[in-house]
Amino acid sequence: MKVVVIGGGIIGMLTALELVKAGIAVRVLDKSHPGTEASWAGGGIVSPLYPWRYPPAVSALAVMAQELYPALAAELTGYSGIDPELTVCGMLMLGADDARDAMVWSRKYGRRIHLLQGHALAAMGDGLAQFNDGIWLPDVANIRNPRLLQSLRRTLEIRGVAVDGGREVVSWERVGNRMRAVRLAGGETIEADQFVLAAGAWSAGLSSTLAGPMPVRPVKGQMLLFHAPDAGLRHILLHQGHYVIPRRDGHILCGSTLEETGFDKSITAEAAVDLHAVAAKLVPSLGAMPPVAHWAGLRPGSPNGIPFIGRHPEAHNLWVNTGHYRNGLVLAPASVQLLGDLMLGRKPVLDASPYAMLDMRAEDQASSSS
């Protein structure tokens, strides 16, 4: 069997790894440089922010993926020699008013959570005495996502998977209810037995040439980077939806904005000011320090942040793995395992129904007619 994966982000490349491990011949096509879009731009927190605020379909994937990450990081490091720096640093959520929901969620999913106040909270970092309470998740990790992508791409190449940049898929060649080939900008066609659509924020454009629109949309996120090895930041800190993330090499990421501005990836002075203020509030020494970089990426937004994982309703041999919104880096290992199960006829590791395109479309129709 030969599979073509459209999209070389974390989802597309990790899908390719899942398939090649099962002995499938895979090729990855990307319109630009693989691993340089949302998966590169993200913060690499290996947890949803405020995980209890997401539907169970997201928690189920997240909890499973968190268990898979250490072995995945070790496997990729072993193959590629590039360590993606999975680092368990914990995540401290400040000023959140839903601690009760957090505790209920932690019991349901078996995640450790502690409520911190007073001295215990202040001891977690400089400047934290200003907050009254915090929700502490000690087991949350962050991963250095640009290195994860390099490591993954190298691993795929070592395992014989071609990961081709500069290959934009623009349409499909279809025979009845099967796809025969993809057509690239420039006219070349590439045939395969199965196809996987993992084009992130761009997935809806390719899907819409087939059937009704897939509700995946770009949601811009801007991020600032500081180099502050002496800042003493040890944990991910989260306040009112914004965060700082410590990397092993002394860099600190501060994110992020949520902007519905279409496929525009420009950065803005306003976001730089706002994010710098967030950074200074959470790590006071960053207030006087200029950021060393500022960038934006496009998340694949989806209804309730639930990704689409499964067969496309219009074609027997077209599969989708997209719409991971704010959580593609954390969800990826579980998401690709589920898709692999469905494609290869294995017993699904999770109930796949919440992620089915058909169900989501039916739900959308029901809500629009009510």
Ligand X SMILES: Cc1cc2nc3c(=O)[nH]c(=O)nc-3n(C[C@H](O)[C@H](O)[C@H](O)COP(=O)(O)OP(=O)(O)OC[C@H]3O[C@@H](n4cnc5c(N)ncnc54)[C@H](O)[C@@H]3O)c2cc1C
Residues that bind ligand X (CB under 6 A): 6-12, 29-32, 34, 37-39, 41-45, 168-169, 198-202, 206, 221, 223, 255-256, 297, 299-300, 322, 324-330
Pick the closer one to ligand X by CB: 199 or 286: 199
Pick the closer one to ligand X by CB: 122 or 170: 170
Least Å distance, CB 24 to ligand X, is 19
Pick the closer one to ligand X by CB: 128 or 163: 163
Pick the closer one to ligand X by CB: 62 or 130: 62
Pick the closer one to ligand X by CB: 235 or 326: 326
Least Å distance, CB 248 to ligand X, is 16
Least Å distance, CB 132 to ligand X, is 26
Nearest in space to 246 (alpha carbons), one of 39, 88, 48, 83: 88
Across 282-316, b (16+ Cβ under 10 Å) vs e yields bbebbeebebeebebbbbbbbbebbbbbbbbbbbe
Name every residue whose Cβ is closer than 8 Å to that of residue 367 and which is 6 or more positions away in sequence.
none
Q: Over the Cα atoms of the chain, what is R_g?
A: 21
Vertex 317: Cα angle to 184 and 15 (nearest 5)? 75
- H helices of 43-97, where? 56-80
Q: Give the dihedral of Cα atoms 258, 260, 263, 266; nearest 10 deg.
A: -50
The secondary structure element, H or E, covering residue 278 is helix 269-282
Pick the closer one to ligand X by CB: 36 or 77: 36
Least Å distance, CB 282 to ligand X, is 15
The amino acid at residue 268 is T
Least Å distance, CB 49 to ligand X, is 8
Query: In angstroms, rounded to a whole number, what is the distance separating the alpha carbons of residues 241 and 30?
Result: 31
Pick the closer one to ligand X by CB: 5 or 135: 5
Residues, the chain = 370
Name every residue whose Cβ is closer than 8 Å to that of residue 283 and which is 6 or more positions away in sequence.
125, 126, 127, 228, 231, 233, 237, 244, 252
Least Å distance, CB 368 to ligand X, is 26
Least Å distance, CB 11 to ligand X, is 4
CB 26 within 8 A of CB 339: no
